[in-house]
Amino acid sequence: MPQTPAWLAARPLLIGMLHLPPLPGSPRCAGSLDTIRQRVLADAAALLEGGLQLLMLENFGDAPFFPSEVPAVTVAHMTAIAERVRATFPTARLGINVLRNDGCAALAIAQAVGADFIRVNVLCGARVTDQGLVTGIAHDLLRLRANLAAEHIAILADVDVKHSAPLGIRDIAAEVQDLIERGGADAVIVSGTATGRPVTTEKLISVIAAARETPVLIGSGAQPRTLRELLTHAAGAIVGTSLKVDGLVDAAVDVARVRELVGQMLPRSGS
């Protein structure tokens, strides 16, 4: 397997979400392309000003999501916006998540714009979701990454992903090991049951034990008041809802909330 990128060894790994408004082609799209671009750039600026250097672009507003492949129009607009983010904020590391599970499109976008990582909701196995049955894509994704010579683009993969249920009961440690050893995940994401819902400490510790040296990130529910304790266990967190104005997922990023979160990660006096 490819060597894990060196930047994944940093601690803590705090990834701020760039939630895209509904894009052209999705049923809720209402704003102009310029409005969409300016919103994303403003959110990126707020995250960076607040102290985060890892960003992840996601087509969050495109619900209802396609279970696997998204249409070309989605890939085109995400690529154009991702390129604008990269050009405007060249020092930031950028990730791509194409919902619900189009990891190959995410990888193609990442390779085209020079992004650093992708997120894949279902890399291995199968999950029952509101999109129906979503199945693993590791067999296609790893071959595409090799063919593109894009092994430097890290794969962050969910285990027991939110907004889903298993087809059958499996030991979560076995699922984690499959993600890493058979699916090629460079890092594992563990979340609560839905967007903004926290993961239990018990579940987090179980996943970390199974992952061993592979980084484990918290995928939902991270709050400034709880994150410092959670990061005594996890390598990092993906943070979205709690960084928005009034904690509302559809609102703009609030730079004061970002600073509060980052401030929790700074060493305390006397520590």
pTM flag (> 0.75): yes
**pLDDT at position 267:** 59
Give the chain's length. Answer: 271
- Residue in this structure with the two tokens 């085109």, named with its chain if needed: 76
Nearest CA to 124 among 154, 95, 101?
Answer: 101
What are the residue ranges in the chain where pLDDT is below 50?
269-271
Cα distance between residue 159 and residue 120, in whole Å = 10
Cα distance between residue 216 and residue 153, in whole Å = 17
Q: What is the set of domains in the chain, with CATH numbers? A: 11-262 (3.20.20.70)
Burial class (CB in 10 A: 0-12, 13-18, 19+), 53: middle
**pLDDT at position 270:** 45
**pLDDT at position 269:** 44
- Residue in this structure with the two tokens 């996601």, named with its chain if needed: 58
